[in-house]
């Protein structure tokens, strides 16, 4: 089944992890998926983890979709604008924008003494930028250009990949504030877009079995309390197919709640626990 055939999506930060899983799920649903990242070859990877944008694009093709890899440094506004302009020129539309690019974990991946759990007054002020330049500002910039296409066509879905750290303390001050900012951005963008047919949501995955998480585990099996990156992608597919999507615009949504609502499962029929390893926004 290819329910998203003819639809065009952009997934940022898709060399690996959640972005890669979302790109694969959208491809499996038949979408044309543009995917961005900085890693084009293993030799130029900035983190000691596998994955390139071209490898992800090839896997999207294998699922039945069309994967188009575009190198983009999301710290550079002009490069982000050029990605959207290319999509407009080649496709004339953009149906789904998934803002997933984030550089906050790079220091954690590169060094055990990254300062990720250091109190804010003991950290250099520049640590803030690792969480906010790519991950908050970059989400805003991509949405500015993406929304212009969507508003003109009268429909669209913008998904900000966030985390439960937006709702309570986790890891460090800069991390939590960055996720709270993303959640608020979704709500405020939805307010301004409410009459346009363009929906904006913030998406909270639970504990996701990314390459970074699994590299630290001896047991490589997907545990009951974990979800795969593809499961997060299936939540995005479910949203894109929701006939009443605008009713969810502006909300913080939890992937496992969407799994229960839309009836999708994780890989190999795995269904992550609805309780352990998942957080929900306070109302």
| DSSP-assigned beta bridge partners for residue 37 | 71
Catalytic residue among 140, 175, 225, 262: 175
From CA 26, how far away is CA 230, in angstroms rounded?
9
| DSSP-assigned beta bridge partners for residue 201 | 159
Distance, first Cα to last Cα, the chain: 36
Handedness of CA 112, 132, 168, 283 (dihedral sign): negative
- Return the half-sphere exposure (C-beta side, CA atoms, 13 A cut-off) of residue 182: 35
Helices then strands (H, E): number in the chain?
A: 10, 9
Q: Are 280 and 258 in contact (CB under 8 A)?
A: no
Provide the pairing of β-strand 96-99 with 156-161. parallel
Q: Which residues contact 113 (CB under 8 A, 6 or more apart)?
A: none
Question: In a 10 Å sphere around its CB, with 0-12 CB exposed, 13-18 middle and 19+ buried, how is residue 192 labelled?
Answer: exposed
Active site residue 175: yes
Provide the pairing of β-strand 252-254 with 198-204. parallel
Q: Which residues contact 220 (CB under 8 A, 6 or more apart)?
A: 214
Catalytic site residues? Answer: 175
């Amino acid at each position: 089944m290819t329910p998203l055939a003819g639809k065009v999506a952009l997934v940022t930060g898709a060399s690996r992890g959640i972005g890669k899983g979302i790109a694969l799920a959208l491809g499996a649903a038949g979408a044309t998926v543009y995917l961005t990242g900085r890693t084009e070859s293993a030799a130029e990877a900035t983190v000691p983890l596998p994955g390139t944008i071209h490898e992800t694009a090839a896997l999207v093709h294998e699922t039945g979709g069309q994967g188009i890899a575009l190198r983009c440094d999301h710290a550079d506004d002009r490069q982000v604008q050029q990605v959207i302009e290319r999509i407009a020129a080649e496709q004339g539309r953009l149906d789904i924008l998934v803002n997933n690019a984030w550089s906050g974990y790079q220091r954690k991946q590169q060094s055990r003494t990254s300062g990720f759990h250091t109190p804010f007054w003991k950290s250099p002020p520049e640590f803030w930028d690792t969480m906010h330049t790519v991950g908050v500002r970059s989400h805003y910039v991509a949405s500015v250009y993406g929304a212009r296409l969507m508003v003109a066509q009268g429909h669209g879905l913008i998904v900000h990949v966030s985390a439960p750290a937006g709702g309570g303390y986790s890891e460090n001050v800069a991390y939590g504030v960055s996720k709270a900012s993303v959640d608020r951005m979704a709500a405020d963008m939805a307010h301004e877009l409410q009459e346009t047919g363009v929906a904006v949501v913030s998406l909270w995955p639970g504990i996701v079995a990314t390459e970074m998480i699994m590299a630290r585990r001896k047991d490589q099996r997907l545990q009951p309390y974990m979800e795969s990156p593809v499961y997060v992608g299936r939540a995005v597919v479910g949203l894109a197919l929701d006939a009443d999507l605008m009713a969810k615009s502006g909300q913080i949504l939890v992937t496992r709640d969407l799994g229960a609502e839309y009836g999708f499962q994780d890989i190999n029929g795995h269904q992550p626990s609805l309780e352990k390893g998942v957080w929900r926004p306070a109302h």
